[in-house]
């Protein structure tokens, strides 16, 4: 690598910056934004300046702007902001080292995210699905429990029978996302409704310990499963998120796997139904366990066709 990067290429500068990032997730996200920007600049430069040996010092702010608009102007606001932040960080890093690097055009500002309506499933559709004889009791209990508690699916899949109170229809869950910036797990008590109450006790039967939702087969020989993820009564393993996601998708897909309902659609639908019923904002905040009231807006703006189904 040349010490004077005024004579170095944009790709070299990008690779050196990426090598300085410790976090793998940050590296992966930044790599997409920065290398695609560099590639656009290389392919769209003039005959004299284009190509993979494009000097960083020859790249202009206008070209950076054109690359950003060409690549991500049609993307969602969150994607635009993430790509813009990555490229901006790279260019600032270069200039901090005294290298000649372009700036981000002033008119390419951060876009204020616009809440998007959630996918709202009608109660009739959920009732119709769970009325099918082919649907196992486990899935019926899980899907209604997500809908009625408005829990995040992973929280319920991690729940143990010891966390349930069948008399009070409640479940204790722990979630990092419901904290207040501390990053530490916060315990919440969620309450379910009459539909979950129809299926959950029948699912548990005589089990008093272990995961609430388990697989139908024991783990294969040699597979390592934590003691906390095994049912002490049956030896069955905890149902994973990927397994639960597949089970719902496979019975609701209309155009092949991957086109069906998502587990989070059940949570979103539960919150949207509560919002449409006129529930107090404070109660909705408590049910959703969001930090800011503005995050509730997406549950209050389902499409007109969906509102007709509620």
- pLDDT tens-digit readout, 9-57: 999 999 999 999 999 889 999 999 999 999 999 998 655 555 678 899 9
pLDDT at 306: 45
Residue 52 lies in a domain: yes
Same domain, 152 and 205: yes
Q: What is the dihedral of CA 264, 198, 214, 163, to 10 degrees?
A: 80
Report which of 151, 157, 123 is spatially closest to residue 247, judged by C-alpha positions: 157
Same domain, 86 and 173: no
Same domain, 29 and 158: no
Q: How many domains does the chain have?
A: 2
Same domain, 263 and 181: yes
Same domain, 33 and 152: no
pLDDT at 246: 96
Residues near 218 by beta carbon (within 8 Å), at least 6 away in sequence = 234, 235, 236, 237
Residue 153 lies in a domain: yes
Structural domain for 65, as ranges: 10-96
CATH number at residue 271: 1.10.443.10
The answer to whether 27 and 18 are in contact (CB under 8 A) is: yes
Same domain, 131 and 83: no
pLDDT at 258: 87
Residue 108 lies in a domain: no
Judged on CB neighbours under 10 Å (0-12, 13-18, 19+), 169 is middle
Report which of 242, 244, 246 is spatially closest to residue 257, judged by C-alpha positions: 246
Residue 4 lies in a domain: no
Same domain, 148 and 231: yes
- How far, in Å, are 64, 65, 105, 229, 292 from residue 45 at the CA level? 11, 13, 18, 56, 45
Residue 2 lies in a domain: no
pTM over 0.85: no
Same domain, 81 and 164: no
Residue 266 lies in a domain: yes
pLDDT at 255: 87
Residue 20 lies in a domain: yes
Mean pLDDT per block of 10 residues along the chain (310 residues) reads: 58 94 92 95 71 86 94 90 96 94 92 77 95 97 97 95 96 68 73 96 94 90 80 92 96 90 95 88 86 77 47
Residue 118 lies in a domain: no
pLDDT at 179: 41
Same domain, 68 and 141: no
Q: How far is residue 202's CA from residue 136's CA, in Å, rounded to a whole number?
A: 12
pLDDT at 177: 53
- pLDDT tens-digit readout, 124-159: 999 999 999 999 999 999 999 999 999 999 999 999
pLDDT at 51: 67
Place of tokens 């949207």: 272
């Amino acid at each position: 690598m040349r010490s004077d990067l005024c004579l170095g290429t944009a790709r070299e500068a990008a690779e050196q910056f990426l090598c300085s990032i410790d976090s793998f997730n940050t590296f992966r996200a930044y790599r997409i934004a920065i290398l695609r920007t560099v590639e656009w600049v290389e392919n769209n430069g003039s005959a004299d300046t284009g190509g993979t040996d494009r000097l960083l010092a020859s790249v202009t702010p206008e070209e950076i702007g054109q690359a950003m608009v060409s690549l991500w102007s049609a993307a969602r606001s969150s994607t635009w902001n993430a790509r813009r932040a990555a490229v901006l960080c790279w260019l600032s890093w270069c200039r901090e080292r005294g290298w000649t690097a372009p700036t981000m055009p002033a008119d390419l500002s951060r876009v204020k995210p616009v809440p998007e309506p959630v996918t709202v499933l009608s109660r009739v559709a959920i009732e119709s699905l769970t009325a099918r004889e082919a649907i196992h009791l486990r899935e019926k209990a899980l899907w209604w429990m997500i809908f009625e508690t408005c829990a995040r699916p992973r929280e319920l899949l991690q729940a143990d029978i010891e966390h349930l109170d069948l008399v009070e229809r409640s479940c204790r869950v722990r979630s990092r996302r419901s904290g207040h910036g501390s990053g530490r797990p916060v315990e919440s008590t969620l309450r379910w409704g009459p539909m979950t109450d129809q299926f959950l006790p029948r699912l548990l039967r005589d089990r008093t310990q272990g995961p609430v939702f388990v697989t139908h087969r024991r783990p294969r020989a040699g597979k390592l499963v934590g003691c906390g993820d095994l049912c002490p009564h049956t030896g069955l393993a905890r149902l994973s998120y990927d397994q639960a996601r597949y089970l719902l998708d496979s019975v609701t897909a209309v155009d092949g796997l991957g086109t069906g309902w998502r587990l989070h659609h059940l949570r979103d639908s539960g919150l949207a139904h509560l919002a449409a019923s006129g529930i107090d904002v404070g109660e909705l905040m408590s049910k959703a366990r969001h930090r800011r009231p503005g995050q509730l807006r997406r549950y209050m703006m389902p499409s007109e066709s969906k509102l007709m189904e509620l």
